[in-house]
Amino acid sequence: MSGHSTYQPKTGIERWLDARLPIVRLMHDSAVSYPVPRNLNLLWTFGGILVFMLVAQIITGVILAMHYTPNATMAFNSVEHIMRDVNFGWLLRYLHSNGASMFFVAVYVHIFRGMYYGSYKAPREVLWILGVIIFLLMMATAFMGYVLPWGQMSFWGATVITNLFSALPVIGETIVTFLWGGYSVDNPTLNRFFSLHFLLPFMIAGVVVLHIWALHHVGQNNPTGVEVKDVKKDTVPFTPYATIKDLFGMVCFMLVFAWFVFYQPNFMGHADNYIPANPASTPAHIVPEWYFLPFYAILRAIPDKLGGVLAMGGAIVILAFLPWIDTSKVKSMTYRPIARQFFWMFVLVCIGLGYLGAMPADEPYVTISRILTVLYFGFFLALALIGIFERPAPLPTSIADSVLGGSGARLGHATASEPQAKG
Amino acid sequence: MSLRLSLAGLVTGLAIAAASPALAAEGAPKPPAQSWSFSGPFGKFDRAQLQRGFKVAKEVCANCHAMSLIRFRNLAEPGGPGFTPSQVAALAASYTNIKDGPNDSGEMFERPGRPADAFPAPFANEQAARAANGGAYPPPIDMLAKARTYERGFPKFVFDIFTQYQEQGPDYIVALLTGYRDPPAGVTLLPGQNYNNFMPGHLIAMPKPLSDGQVEYPKGPDGKSPVPETVEQYAKDVAAFMVWMAEPHLEARKRLGFQVMIFLALFAGLLYFTKKKIWARLPDHASAH
């Protein structure tokens, strides 16, 4: 998609710099003249929203770190010090804690959008895998961040999750001791989690750069899944068309974000985390943050500890193989009548698993979790099989035709019944 | 389609959020919802209620429970009970045995309280508190309004996003403080146990803390307290005070929130029309069906 650069240095300084470090050219080519499919819907604004959330989390997080004390005896009170005595500390802290949740809301919309429109298919496999890596890094960052206030759920969540590694044969116990910095979750654990919680967002930012690089190399997918054929007809320049649309999506997202920060700041948290960590008292229910619940449900659905850990890890890692699991050449599920139904069932299964992850590990929840776990992995098997026999609906001949309709779209019926060869 | 999709994604994602029960009230009834002056988007504390609640907390609760996250000065800060700085200074000074030091000769010493001091805890440490309370630990009450809740269940937790109901903590505290009953037949209490209708598991170490007329409220012009001096009223007042202790910037948060929401809504509206105008520039726009 990256064609010839249209950047024209206008002033002497720009020409001088352009000959030495073409950084303005890079920014112009990737954020101004970069061609964007003209038919993108508002779901495509979530990439920009995610960049905004990452930057917001880093800014609020760096300021919070100036006031926070990573020590097992002082961490809880230092968070309360931020909430009470730091100027607008309550705002920073609620922005950061709710920001983590909103980050995951956005990333789940982004992932489901990619799955629905087949954005993982060639030539976007590397782009997709980089996204899965970002998702994994986000989970690690969020998990360690939740430990920092050193409340009851911080402590016991950390104990349960780090203990999972002990299920691994041979090296498991060593890994757990290494994570803890000792023989139980304690001050050394808090210290290393704080250090890593500060480091990982910058690693995420690095992978995000690769993610955007890959995106700009192959070009954006679009709701039809038909690749750009004529840059003039099928695309619009990123600025102002995509810029203004992304900004609009972002501000709408901020409205939801602000609603939680200012009106419901503890809605997505746990009351137990306002009780200081106490190794001698286990909470009645140890529940991870909501964004981990589907995976937590899969973990508990498997009766064997190692099996559960592998299933939970597999539930995430399998996403990286999606480009090769899905056998259909048609990208967008808009034109895949059968796969589309399976997709929506998969969404419901994920929501169901999320609900079950929050429930106690009793019947009937355990049995339902097992059924939904099978359905979760079944979706990927289904994608492999559906592509073989599914008859996709006719694709539009081009993006421009799909937008402008009329004779172009009708013409499309005749020519597009065979799946795209190039994918 | 796209809007519907993104909204559905958001709502479902958020719905999962609250599916997590932090404290399941096994076998206990759900606390009845009280009406609170600080609920909703424009909620504000009732100053008189916070002052009464402080009186209950100081005269009753603070005998066993710490509330050391609160400093005397907080009582005079905006959005709080609204005591005057001189009232706060006098209150702080009435605590004559604040431990401080070491002084120049290396000795610890006791001095009268200052507004910057934390509210003194009744016991030196958890062990001392347990020893004085038959082995049970009276938890600090400064954060309790946020640290206690009850399970809302589906679909109520989804509605809570829109109704902004988040007063599970104070509702539970009122229910607990007014929920002491004689044990039903078949339940035998061990020494140090009490029966409470709303305590998860019904057995609570704290003896019934409040009784009618126990705390004297400020008198109105007619020589009588404007609110009844009953257990229900004490419980509501002290629960409101506990919400303020747990969330001292609640008023500022909601006030700023309204300004932010108005700004974002207007900004989003302007962006929407700007976007429409910009996209209308496309040369083939007019020919589009």
Percent of chain B scoring above 70 in pLDDT: 89
Model confidence at A1, in pLDDT bands (50, 70, 90)?
very low
Minimum Cα–Cα distance from B146: chain A residue: A271
Query: Most B CBs within 10 Å: which of A80, A81, A84, A97, as the mutation test of the B interface?
Result: A84
Shortest CA distance from B158: residue in chain A: A267
pLDDT at B28: 80
- φ, ψ (nearest 5 deg) of residue B274: -60, -45
pLDDT at A403: 87
The per-residue pLDDT for B19 is 41
Average pLDDT of chain A is: 93
Greatest distance between any 2 Cα atoms in chain B: 91
Tell me what percent of the residues of chain A surpass a pLDDT of 70: 95
How close B212 comes to chain A (CA, Å)? 31
Distance CA(A98)–CA(A365), nearest Å, equals: 28
CB B142 within 8 A of CB B246: yes
DSSP string computed for B97-135: -EEE---TTS--EEE---TTSBPPPSSSSHHHHHHHTTT
- The packing angle between helices A125-147 and A152-164, to 10°, is 130
Residues A293 and B19 sit within 8 Å (Cβ to Cβ): yes
Give ipTM to 2 decimals.
Answer: 0.90
Task: Give the pLDDT score at A361.
Answer: 86
Chain A positions touching B265 (Cβ under 8 A) are 255
Q: Do B279 and A241 touch (CB under 8 A)?
A: yes
- Average pLDDT (B41-70) is 97
Residue B98 tokens read as 């604040």
Chain B: nearest CA to A171, how far in angstroms? 33
Model pLDDT, residue A50: 98
Pick the closest to residue A106 from B268, B3, B271, B14 (CA basis): B14
Predicted pLDDT of residue A91: 98
Nearest CA in chain A to B9: A109
Task: Please give the pLDDT value at position A43.
Answer: 97
The nearest CA of chain B is from the CA of A282 a distance in Å of: 12
Provide CB contacts within 8 A for A273, sequence distance 6+. A146, A149, A151, A152, A153, A154, B22
Tell me the DSSP string of A254-316. Answer: HHHHHIIIII-TTTTS-GGGGSB--TT---S-----GGGHHHHHHHHHSSSHHHHHHHHHHHH
> Residue A163: is its pLDDT beyond 90?
yes
DSSP B30: P
- Answer yes or no: do A241 and B146 touch at CB < 8 A: no
Q: What is the pLDDT of residues A299-312, one digit of tens each?
A: 999 999 999 999 99
Encoded tokens for A246: 């992304």
CB-CB under 8 Å, A259 with B261: yes
Nearest-CA residue of chain A relative to B165?
A264
Structure tokens at B225: 């307290």
Render A219-259 in DSSP notation, one character per residue.
----TT-PPPS-HHHHEEEIIIIIHHHHHHHHHHHHHHHHI
pLDDT over 80 at A137, yes or no? yes
Give the mutation candidate from A272, A273, A343 for the B interface (greatest B CB count, under 10 A).
A272
Residue A87 contacts by C-beta under 8 Å, 6 or more apart in sequence?
Answer: none
- From the list A256, A275, A287, the residue facing B147 with the nearest CB is A275
In terms of pLDDT, which residue wins out, A421 or B151? Answer: B151
Contacts of A267 in chain B (CB under 8 A): 17-18, 160-161, 166
**Using CB atoms within 10 A of its CB, is residue A17 exposed (0-12), middle (13-18) or buried (19+)?**
middle
**Residue A402: both structure tokens together:** 């799909």
Cβ distance A290 to B17 less than 8 Å, yes or no, reads yes
Please enumerate in sequence order all residues whose Cβ is within 8 A of that of A26, keeping only pairs 6 or more positions apart, or say none.
none
Looking at the complex, report in whole angstroms how far the Cα of residue B183 sits from the nearest Cα belonging to chain A: 24
Please give, rounded to a whole number of angstroms, the shortest distance from the CA of A244 to a CA of chain B: 6
The whole-number pLDDT of residue A3 equals 58
Cβ neighbours of A145 (radius 10 Å): 24
Q: pLDDT for A89-109, tens place per residue? A: 999 999 999 999 999 999 999
Q: Does the structure show a pLDDT above 60 at A371?
A: yes
d(CA A23, CA A281): 56
The pLDDT assigned to A252 comes to 98
Position B59 scores a pLDDT of 97
User: Are the C-beta atoms of A102 and A116 separated by less than 8 Å?
Assistant: no
Rounded CA-CA distance B134/B131 in Å is 6
Asked whether the beta carbons of A373 and A354 are under 8 A apart, the reply is no
Contact A105 B278 (CB under 8 A): no
| DSSP state, residue B257 | H
Which of B4, B20, B152, B258 best tests the A interface by mutation, with the highest count of A CBs <10 A? B20
Residue B24 has pLDDT above 70, yes or no: no
Give the Cβ contact number of residue B181 at 10 Å. 12
- Of A42, A153, A403, nearest to B288 by CB-CB distance is A403
Residue B288 has pLDDT above 90, yes or no: no
Q: Do A284 and B248 touch (CB under 8 A)?
A: no
From chain B, the residues in CB contact with A262 under 8 A are: 253-254, 256-258, 260-261
Q: What is the C-alpha to C-alpha distance for residues A307 and A288, in angstroms, rounded to an integer?
A: 19
Residues B167-190, mean pLDDT to the nearest whole number: 95
Q: Which residues of B touch A248 (CB under 8 A)?
A: 268, 271-272, 274-275
The CA distance from B51 to B217, in Å, is 9
> What is the per-residue pLDDT for B27?
65
Question: pLDDT of A2-40, one tens digit each?
Answer: 457 889 999 999 999 999 999 999 999 999 999 999 999
For residue A203, is pLDDT > 90? yes
* Cβ within 8 Å, pair B21-A358: yes
| Inter-chain touch B2–A43, beta carbons under 8 Å | yes
Between A241 and A406, where is the model more confident?
A: A241
Q: Which residue of B has its CA nearest to A250?
A: B268
Q: Read off the pLDDT of residues A56-94 as tens digits, 9 standing for 90 and up.
A: 999 999 999 999 999 999 999 999 999 999 999 999 999
Q: pLDDT tens, A143-160?
A: 999 999 999 999 999 999
What is the least distance, in Å, from the CA of B224 to any CA of chain A? 36
Angle, CA of A403, A128 and A116, to the nearest 5°: 45
d(CA A83, CA A93): 7
Does the beta-carbon distance from A290 to B19 stay under 8 Å?
Answer: yes
The answer to whether the Cα torsion of A185, A187, A192, A194 is positive or negative is positive
Binary contact (A268, B168; C-beta < 8 A): no
pLDDT, mean over chain B: 90
pLDDT at B79: 96
Q: Which residue of B has its CA nearest to A247?
A: B271
Checking if the pLDDT of B9 tops 70, the result is no
Residue of B nearest to A357 (CA): B20
Q: Residues A53, A106: contact at Cβ < 8 Å?
A: yes
Q: What is the mean pLDDT of residues B120-130?
A: 95
State the smallest CA–CA distance between residue A408 and chain B in angstroms.
Answer: 12
The answer to whether the CB atoms of A358 and B9 lie below 8 A apart is: no
Q: Which chain A residues contact residue B135 at CB under 8 A? A: none
**Nearest-Cα residue of chain B relative to residue A274:** B147
Q: Say what the pLDDT of residue A334 is.
A: 96
Token pair, residue A385, equals 């099989």
Q: Do B289 and A405 touch (CB under 8 A)?
A: yes
Say how many C-beta atoms besides its own lie within 10 A of residue A258's C-beta: 20
Contacts of B9 in chain A (CB under 8 A): 105, 108-109, 112
